[in-house]
Amino acid sequence: MKAMVATPDLVEVGASKCERDEGKKGTTYGKTRDVVTSLEARVSRLESNFSTLGGRIDNLDGRCDGFETENAKIHSGIKDMLGGLEADLRHAIESFYSEIAKV
C-alpha cells in the first residue's frame, strides 16, 4: 500500500514517478533561480566590501605604526629637552651658591 502525502504537488511516497504540474515546476525553478542569483550578487558585494575593509585596516595599521614612531621621537625629544633644562638649572644653582659663598 502506498501512502499519499498532501502537498501542493501531489507526490506518491515510495513511487518511482512523481506527478507534478509542469507549469508550476518552471515557475518554481525560475523563482529559485532568481533567489540564488540575488544571493550570489549579495555574496559578491560582501566579498568586495570585505576586501575593501581589509585594505583600509592595513592602511590604518600603517598609520598606527607611524604614530608610534612619531610618539617615540616626541618622547625622546622632550626627555632630551628636560635633561638640558635640568643641567642648565643645576649650573645656575651652583653659580648662585658660588656667589653667596663669596659674600
Helices (H), the chain: 22-102
Mean of per-residue pLDDT scores for the chain: 79
From 23, 20, 17, select the one nearest 9 (Cα to Cα): 20
Residue 58 phi, psi dihedral angles, 5° rounding:
-60, -40
pLDDT of residue 55: 87
d(CA 16, CA 11): 10
Q: pLDDT tens digits, residue range 45-85? A: 999 999 899 889 888 888 888 888 899 999 999 999 999 99
